[in-house]
A and B are shown apart, each in its own frame.
Chain A
């Protein structure tokens, strides 16, 4: 089963390497990891998606919690949460294919953020499956040149923050 963890850490050099090093050394199955600043300048929030049974997931949480720079870990799988990922997709686009791509983009409620004579760049945010679905259509019908995805970020619904 997949778990989405919100990991609040001290915003210090080396913390991310420490966390990713620990994850690889202990051979945990990590699907994605995304980090960024938060409402507090000295705190970074890392969203980690980990695949594994209850025991494995408990080990991930316990081992990460041991790091002095890790302030708090919440399992957002256990609560109602909003989960999003952002993707930028560069597709092959000629004069003839542009309108079809625009149609697809509209259906997915994505947006076009760059156009050249041979390519278009599409931006989409949503959950993983939605991004996967768009990528598949674009790849099969038009051909994808490159993709960049942020990895999942997540926030619980309601008033209680992960740091509480």
Chain B
């Protein structure tokens, strides 16, 4: 069919089942925006490109679909960079379409020219610069395929301005032929047999679950394995929700702010099955002493993850949708034996769980942040989509919300991007209009993309924004308190901002909680508001996130407390 490049993009988006794009227009993408207008394609106009890219990310995490973001050349494209890096670190499927200056102007430092392909090369799974309209369909087809298959990730398609207007005979390729890209979905059965041998002879096995289980939607396969094996389970931050928080074998999150039981079980286990994890330094603590008594079996779809940080004795490369059921088939027959064999170990670790639960001191004059999370957990019965920003708010949400389902905890784990939460919540609500979306954010991070409150209001997305307002850059201040002699260099946020007024100025309902007695009522009220709502909750300034493994220490050297 004869059409323009811009029309071809819309057609291709439809073929990829994209029903919404987040973005921001500008000179280089005017023709594309004209085509969006004519096609009446759903597009969410954020207030900043960084908002758009995090929204596309939140949408992708919540729905499992590829998030799509559009930006213009130069500053529009460079405003995407943090969001692309955030998605890359957490393996989120995303396609970013950027306009580039017209072909004759490329390389001349033209107005609004930036080499976004060069800039994003280390933070994308792949990227393209499209200079002729004929290459466009194949580039888009490949971009979506690469973004969503194998280990997912962001792909940038940079398109020269003249390509949008050029006409050609459009045909969308039916299949992708890439000589250098063949994700391994089904691995090697003999490896499964080896794993089974280890699994059936270990006396202190431990399942360590990461974001890969969320990304591959294999939580039900995992749960089955957990049931049949009787093995205790821990998760990384990114693995939360893959197993229900109240599952009797679940010990909690491991790592820097992990539970006593999870960190001690990791230290003591004799077999660690790392499933869809990448052994980040926030998880391992002192790497050389991580799980030093254990054989390690690493399950991942990305062969490059194996032996990157932690040496694995057995590597299970492939989709978890293949490996978990394959292992289950073998385990199913000996389920009773397995459970019996690991019973002493299970009882030991469950004892730790019981003796050292996550706790916190109750506040007197101000609401404790952990209490806010617990209350929200109770009011939403663990069914909400929880989004966080970065800092103490993030870890408290992880520790005290009772997650029941996968893809219901959206947080920037790998890059730790402040300013992620608000736009990501927006994207999640867009993708899941019928779900309750609740954001926990600090008084620092909320200001990093607070302009998106206006987008929430304009789109009438009923996100509940809970500002844990401790008047400080809490997580940084905590490190200053613990490791820098309490010298609070530039972490105080005592200013003049009134978050309630800020929300109201942008069309969002603003509520306030100043003392503990108000919490329950105001939270219930906030959850019942029909549109977007922000609650400014004053919390104490010097609460620490605990337990904590100091950077570079062993997991069993955690500072307890609470």
Tell me the number of A-to-B contacts counted with CB atoms below 8 Å: 43
In contact, A55 and B307 (Cβ under 8 angstroms): yes
**With A and B bound together, what is the CA distance between A68 and B182 in angstroms?**
9
Chain B: minimal CB distance from A52 (Å): 13
**With A and B bound together, what is the CA distance between A58 and B306 in angstroms?**
9
In contact, B181 and A62 (Cβ under 8 angstroms): no
Task: Given A55-B307, A65-B303, answer yes or no on A10-B118 (Cβ-Cβ < 8 Å).
Answer: no
Contact residue among B117, B118, B180 (Cβ-Cβ distance under 8 Å from A69): B180
In contact, A58 and B180 (Cβ under 8 angstroms): no
CB of B108 within 8 Å of the partner chain: no
CB of A97 within 8 Å of the partner chain: no
CB of A81 within 8 Å of the partner chain: no
Near B by CB (< 8 A), chain A positions 1-46 give 9-10, 13-14, 17-18, 21-22, 25
Contact residue among B125, B179, B303, B308 (Cβ-Cβ distance under 8 Å from A10): B179
Q: Which residues of A contact B118 (CB under 8 A)?
A: 14, 17
Q: Which residues of B contact A106 (CB under 8 A)?
A: none
In contact, B180 and A21 (Cβ under 8 angstroms): no
Chain B: minimal CB distance from A34 (Å): 20
Chain A: minimal CB distance from B152 (Å): 13
**With A and B bound together, what is the CA distance between A10 and B181 in angstroms?**
11
In contact, A21 and B304 (Cβ under 8 angstroms): no
Residues of A within 8 Å of B, CB-based: how many? 22
Q: Which residues of A contact B181 (CB under 8 A)?
A: 68
Contact residue among A55, A65, A68 (Cβ-Cβ distance under 8 Å from B126): A68
In contact, A68 and B146 (Cβ under 8 angstroms): yes
In contact, B180 and A68 (Cβ under 8 angstroms): yes
Q: Which residues of B contact A66 (CB under 8 A)?
A: 302, 304
In contact, B179 and A65 (Cβ under 8 angstroms): no
Near A by CB (< 8 A), chain B positions 128-183 give 129, 146, 178-181
Q: Which residues of B contact A69 (CB under 8 A)?
A: 126, 180
Q: Which residues of A contact B125 (CB under 8 A)?
A: 68
Q: Which residue of A lies closest to B142 (CB)?
A: A68
**With A and B bound together, what is the CA distance between A55 and B126 in angstroms?**
25
CB of A59 within 8 Å of the partner chain: yes
CB of A86 within 8 Å of the partner chain: no
**With A and B bound together, what is the CA distance between A59 and B307 in angstroms?**
8
Q: Which residues of A contact B302 (CB under 8 A)?
A: 66
In contact, B308 and A18 (Cβ under 8 angstroms): no
Q: Which residue of A lies closest to B303 (CB)?
A: A62
In contact, A71 and B180 (Cβ under 8 angstroms): yes
**With A and B bound together, what is the CA distance between A67 and B180 in angstroms?**
8
Interface residues of A (CB under 8 A from B): 9-10, 13-14, 17-18, 21-22, 25, 55, 58-59, 62-63, 65-72
List 27 interface pairs A-B (beta carbons < 8 Å), by A numbering. A9-B180, A10-B180, A13-B129, A14-B117, A14-B118, A14-B121, A17-B118, A18-B121, A21-B121, A21-B122, A22-B122, A25-B122, A55-B307, A58-B307, A59-B308, A62-B304, A62-B306, A63-B304, A65-B303, A66-B302, A67-B126, A67-B180, A68-B126, A68-B178, A68-B181, A69-B126, A71-B180
Given contacts A25-B122, A66-B302, A69-B126, 10 further A-B contacts (CB under 8 A): A14-B118, A21-B122, A55-B311, A62-B306, A65-B303, A67-B126, A68-B125, A69-B180, A70-B180, A71-B180
